[in-house]
Structure 1
Amino acid sequence: MLHKMIRALVADDSSIAREVVKDGIRLLGAKRYFEVSAVSDGKEALSVLQKKPVDIAFVDVNMPGLSGPEVVAAMKQTQSKDCLTIAMSASMNDRVEAVLKDFGAYHFLQKPFRAENVAEIISSYILMTEKYPVLVVDDSATMRKLTRKILDASRFNFEITEADSAESALRAIKSGTFKMVITDFNMPGADGLELAGSIRELSSKIAIYMMSTNDTTYLERSAAFIGINGFLKKPFNAGDIDALMHKLLGLDDPSFGKVREVFSFMERERLKVAS
């Protein structure tokens, strides 16, 4: 199977840091072909980002010329606006962290780091680019369209199929191969819990996530008992989808991404214990 080449940028005024990142990229050389641009200051980094679409960028926070946060902030106006960005530094204050998060940076590598740390992040990126067949089940065409839009905005790559009822969802599942199902709870006929039970009779491998405007502990516990993987309270966004996918695939939570429990009652109980 042919894979798209990954364009990587390494921007750091330290030649040692640049080499460690490049060593980490080389560890993944057997999985993908990489084109690596290595630069030593922020102005050069921005020039690369403007000239061609970069897929993943490792950007030092403190660089001569333009700083790392300034490069990340300007990135949205370049061909690399969807780039997965990893900030690098020995330390980071709250102000810098807030800027990086606001402008969509993904992760933070604290110096000194090893090539294996870089390879782990790139492995996560490769998993994000894999295609994940997902079935969206909702009797509302408007909600299906909105959910599709949210999935398309995720960092992960989804192949989306829609169903307007539990019955049509089960037909689709029997004739297709899905990594996950995102289903509404309130539907005419069989509801989301009933659908989840039927899916679990067919497969234990399909991940199931329930959507609902309700937030009751009873509903979430019932969903967990049936074997649903998580609960999405409406409204949710692409960050929630990314957080669920990180848990589903066993990836480390990104420094600047949303972190959430798969069921909100778990978070409530954790807070009770902490208090």
Structure 2
Amino acid sequence: MNQLYKRTRVLIVDDCVVMRTTLRAMLNSNEYLVVGELNSGEKLLPAIEKLDPDVVCLDHLLPNKDGMHLLGEIRAVYPDLLVVMITGSEDAMLKQVAAMLGVDGFIYKPFSQKKIFDVLQEVTHAKKQLLILTEEQCLFENGTYHAKAVIADDSLVMRRLLIAILTQMGIEVIGEAYDGMQATELVAEHKPDIACIDFEMPMMDGLEALKIIKSQNDATKIVMITALASRELFKQATSAGAVGFIIKPFYPDTLKQNISRILAA
């Protein structure tokens, strides 16, 4: 279990020396260790093999090979490596493509140390919880599921953690989405007992997806996922039909209790 609690090893890939220097200064701490920096993606895969990072902070605009191309290459060779995209763009299509390719999180420029730490802590926490579940080897195995679920989150590691937790509970995850539109389509097709939907997703956010789902199918219980404990957000979601909330970062035991209570209601 010791490897779960070591300093998080970070590889920075950005063609701007100022950005790399700033990130390195912000990250080197008792919690994080910058193990390498690259100004392009030409030697990224060999660097990952050599440096063994836990997280790659990857700029989406790079010379020769852009960040999206590199994200696809990383996922093909290192499917479980955490990848956080660095970008100064708010383009929803960019975020959707990155989510489709398997990004775990985003750091938006201009960034602060708090913003960076929030994103890295969120994804590394999820990865650690996923590793713990895997090591416990207690995933649901008897094959008789008592409920069906759809999950929607633009972070790959969050979806994997949710799938592991729900499966352990005996809930069959019959669909996973990385944007709100996908979520509405999956719920309409499968009519699950429960749907866990993130507030912040590209193309269509979770609140809009919730409204569409409830207008088409009132039987599915909708649980909203968020890192922002906003009273106004909760009020809007509850008014639109949400029956519960999952606050990031979440822990398996707490999440199981909440989901069990919601399904039993």
Band of TM-score, shorter chain: 0.5 to 0.7
Which consecutive residues of structure 2, in runs of 5 or more, have no partner in the other structure?
A: 152-156, 175-190, 211-219, 225-236, 243-265
Equivalent runs, 1:1-275 vs 2, <5 Å: 2=2, 3-26=5-28, 29-30=29-30, 32=31, 34-51=33-50, 53-78=52-77, 80-128=78-126, 129-130=128-129, 131=132, 141-143=142-144, 154-155=160-161, 182=169, 233=192, 240=196, 263-264=221-222, 269-270=239-240
- Deviation by residue 1:71-95 (Cα, 9 ceiling, x = unmatched): 10111222x3212222112215344
Q: 1:155 to 1:9 in 2, by over 3 A?
A: farther
Which amino acid counterpart does residue 8 of structure 1 have in structure 2?
A: V
Equivalent position SS for 2:42: helix
How far is the alpha carbon of 1:59 from its aligned partner?
A: 0.8
Q: 1:10 to 1:153 in 2, by over 3 A?
A: same
Equivalent position SS for 1:9: strand
Aligned residues: 188
- 8 Å contact kept, 1:12–1:40: yes
- Deviation by residue 1:99-119 (Cα, 9 ceiling, x = unmatched): 211111122222111122111
Which consecutive residues of structure 1, in runs of 5 or more, have no partner in the other structure?
A: 163-181, 185-210, 214-231, 245-251
Which amino acid counterpart does residue 73 of structure 2 have in structure 1?
A: A
How far is the alpha carbon of 1:154 from its aligned partner?
A: 1.7
Q: Which structure: larger Rg?
A: 1
- 8 Å contact kept, 1:8–1:54: yes
Which amino acid counterpart does residue 233 of structure 1 have in structure 2?
A: P
- The two structures, once aligned, show a CA RMSD in angstroms of 4.8
Q: For residues 6 and 94 of structure 2, what CA distance do their matches in structure 1 show?
A: 33
- Deviation by residue 1:235-255 (Cα, 9 ceiling, x = unmatched): 87xxx5xx68xxxxxxx9677
- 8 Å contact kept, 1:24–1:117: no
Q: For residues 101 and 45 of structure 2, what CA distance do their matches in structure 1 show?
A: 15
Q: For residues 135 and 161 of structure 1, what CA distance do their matches in structure 2 show?
A: 10
Q: 1:127 to 1:7 in 2, by over 3 A?
A: same
Q: For residues 63 and 212 of structure 1, what CA distance do their matches in structure 2 show?
A: 36
Q: TM-score, normalised by structure 2?
A: 0.53
How far is the alpha carbon of 1:158 from its aligned partner?
A: 6.6
